[in-house]
Amino acid sequence: MKVTEKDVLYVADLANLELTAEEQQRMVKDLNSILDHIDRLNQLDTTDVPPMAQTSDRFGIDPAKQGAARFAYAMRDDKTGPCLDRATVMKNAPDSDGAFFKVPKVIER
């Protein structure tokens, strides 16, 4: 699979990265080099092999149950409780009025 500069710009857009011209060039080269290596996965026949998203769906679960019910241990009652202290959290904000995060204009006309 060949990645072009157009692909890099499209992906950078999806990823919200404003790459410099130099970064774009480097990225075309690096992505192609990495994808070349990744292509070897196509050597494997994976028909009928189920995909695995995580390793933890077999341990500590209730095997007598089905589906999400197996993970009852990971559930809690839907009740609100104390969260992080607002003042502490807002201290990390680049710009705020103490209650809201301030950002540049969202809607442009």
* Contacts to other proteins by CB under 8 A: 3, 7-8, 11-12, 14-20, 23, 26-27, 30-31, 33-35, 37-44, 46, 49-56, 58-61, 71, 73-74, 76, 84-85, 88-89, 91-95, 101, 103-106, 108
Question: Quick check: 36 and 28 in contact, CB under 8 A?
Answer: no
Give me the residues paired with residue 101 across strands. 96
Cβ at position 87, least distance to other proteins in Å:
10
Helix (H, G, I), strand (E, B) or coil at 101: strand
Burial class (CB in 10 A: 0-12, 13-18, 19+), 11: middle
Q: Given the complex with other proteins, which of 66 and 70 has the nearer CB atom?
A: 70
Q: Given the complex with other proteins, which of 40 and 66 has the nearer CB atom?
A: 40
